[in-house]
């Protein structure tokens, strides 16, 4: 019975490699977006490796925790981190199959990310600080509003490709070749708005602020320091990378490696880097050209996304 064992080991190795790579690249993406934003604002911006320096600094510090907090507060960032990492194993990044694609597909991905969010929001309430409660409340509300639009957008792609399993979906899309339906653009627009909402970027949330009236995600994690904060920031970066990779997989998967030959892998990595950078530029432009919305205007934005997703579905299948 060595073959299933090898199979399992192979899957584990692939998962480890993918997760490690995502962990490694995520801070770079975060800093890239910061630098691009700064450039648009006529500033220099941080050096591209700043993300790594920040993480290293935080990891070296002493963890300071609130007196009123319990084990939930300690577990929160770790569960958030673990959820995001396990979610990345479900997504095909450089090959047309995800390491753990036999575990599940789109629904499991969304559920795992929800698990991380639940943990972080609960932990935010543990400090007894009104900031934590406020951040948790707002974040969960916006996430709740974003879920239907996310589901619908993902459904559309899944129905078009015939499977909800991301690996099978990408393989199906690659096989079909480059054919674009008008509904793709609508679905892309809708999902892009949701990605902006889920990763906490302007116009939904400002990742660089610590003003009470303007924080959502930052308010939730205000109390964290040292390694706990490192985990949270790292996870945020990984989530950003994950969502952008998801967009790449769903709408422009061409170039992804369908075999394990070194040439195909190289092409795939380069293509992926290019596409993610392009999407990063798009996100930066959105962030720079818009002001942050009032909290109670966010539902309007999200319902726009919902309408777009619904329209995409209707156009494609009716």
Q: How far is the CB of 87 from another protein (least distance, A)?
A: 9
Burial class of 275 by CB neighbour count within 10 A (0 to 12, 13 to 18, 19+): buried
Q: Binding to another protein by residue 86, rule CB under 8 A?
A: yes
For residue 249, the Cα-to-chain-centroid distance in whole angstroms is: 13
Q: How far is the CB of 257 from another protein (least distance, A)?
A: 22
Among 102, 175, 259, 261, binds another protein (CB under 8 A): 102
Q: Is the Cβ–Cβ distance between 1 and 215 less than 8 Å?
A: no
Q: Binding to another protein by residue 144, rule CB under 8 A?
A: yes
Cα distance between residue 112 and residue 109, in whole Å = 5
Q: What is the DSSP letter of 47?
A: -
Q: Binding to another protein by residue 218, rule CB under 8 A?
A: no
Among 134, 221, 252, 283, binds another protein (CB under 8 A): 134
Stated as kind and residue range, the H or E segment containing 173 is helix 166-176
End-to-end CA distance of the chain: 49
Q: Binding to another protein by residue 187, rule CB under 8 A?
A: no
Q: How far is the CB of 60 from another protein (least distance, A)?
A: 8
Q: Is the Cβ–Cβ distance between 185 and 201 less than 8 Å?
A: no
Q: Binding to another protein by residue 22, rule CB under 8 A?
A: no
Cα distance between residue 64 and residue 74, in whole Å = 11
Q: Binding to another protein by residue 281, rule CB under 8 A?
A: no
Cα distance between residue 34 and residue 263, in whole Å = 32
Among 38, 52, 141, 282, binds another protein (CB under 8 A): 141
Among 93, 152, 193, 194, binds another protein (CB under 8 A): 152
| Binding region for another protein (CB under 8 A) out of 42-50, 86-94, 198-206, 245-253 | 86-94
Among 31, 89, 97, 284, binds another protein (CB under 8 A): 89
Q: Binding to another protein by residue 249, rule CB under 8 A?
A: no
Q: Is the Cβ–Cβ distance between 250 and 169 less than 8 Å?
A: yes
Task: Report whether the peptide linkage leading into residue 203 is cis, meaning its omega lies within 30 degrees of zero.
Answer: yes
Cα distance between residue 243 and residue 197, in whole Å = 11
Residues in contact with another protein, counted by CB under 8 A, come to a total of 89
Q: How far is the CB of 177 from another protein (least distance, A)?
A: 19
| Binding region for another protein (CB under 8 A) out of 201-209, 272-280, 285-293, 307-315 | 307-315
């Amino acid at each position: 019975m060595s073959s299933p064992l090898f199979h399992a080991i192979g899957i584990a190795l692939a998962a480890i490699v993918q997760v490690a790579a995502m962990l490694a690249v995520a801070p770079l993406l975060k800093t890239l977006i910061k630098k691009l934003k700064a450039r648009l604002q006529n500033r220099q911006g941080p050096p591209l490796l700043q993300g790594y320096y920040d993480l290293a600094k935080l990891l070296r510090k002493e963890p300071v925790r609130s007196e009123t907090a319990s084990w939930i507060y300690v577990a929160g960032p770790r569960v958030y981190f673990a959820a995001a990492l396990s979610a990345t194993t479900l997504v095909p990044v450089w090959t047309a199959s995800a390491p753990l694609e036999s575990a599940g597909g789109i629904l499991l991905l969304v559920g795992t990310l929800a698990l991380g969010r639940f943990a972080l929001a609960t932990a935010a309430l543990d400090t007894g600080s009104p900031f934590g409660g406020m951040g948790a409340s707002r974040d969960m509300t916006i996430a709740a509003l974003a879920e239907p639009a996310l589901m619908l957008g993902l459904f559309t792609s899944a129905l078009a490709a015939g499977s909800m399993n991301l690996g099978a979906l990408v393989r199906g899309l690659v096989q079909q070749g480059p054919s674009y339906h008008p509904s793709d653009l609508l679905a892309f627009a809708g999902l892009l708005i949701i990605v902006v909402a889920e990763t906490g970027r302007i116009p939904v949330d400002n990742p660089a602020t610590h003003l009470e009236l303007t924080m959502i995600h930052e308010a939730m994690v205000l109390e964290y320091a040292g390694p706990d904060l490192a985990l949270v920031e790292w996870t945020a970066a990984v989530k950003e990378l994950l969502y952008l990779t998801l967009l790449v997989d769903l709408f422009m998967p061409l170039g992804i490696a369908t075999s394990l030959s070194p040439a195909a892998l190289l092409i795939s990595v380069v293509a992926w880097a290019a596409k993610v950078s392009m999407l990063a530029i798009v996100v930066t432009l959105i962030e720079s050209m818009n002001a942050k919305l009032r909290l109670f205007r966010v539902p309007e934005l999200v319902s726009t996304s919902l309408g777009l997703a619904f329209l995409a579905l209707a156009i494609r299948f009716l």
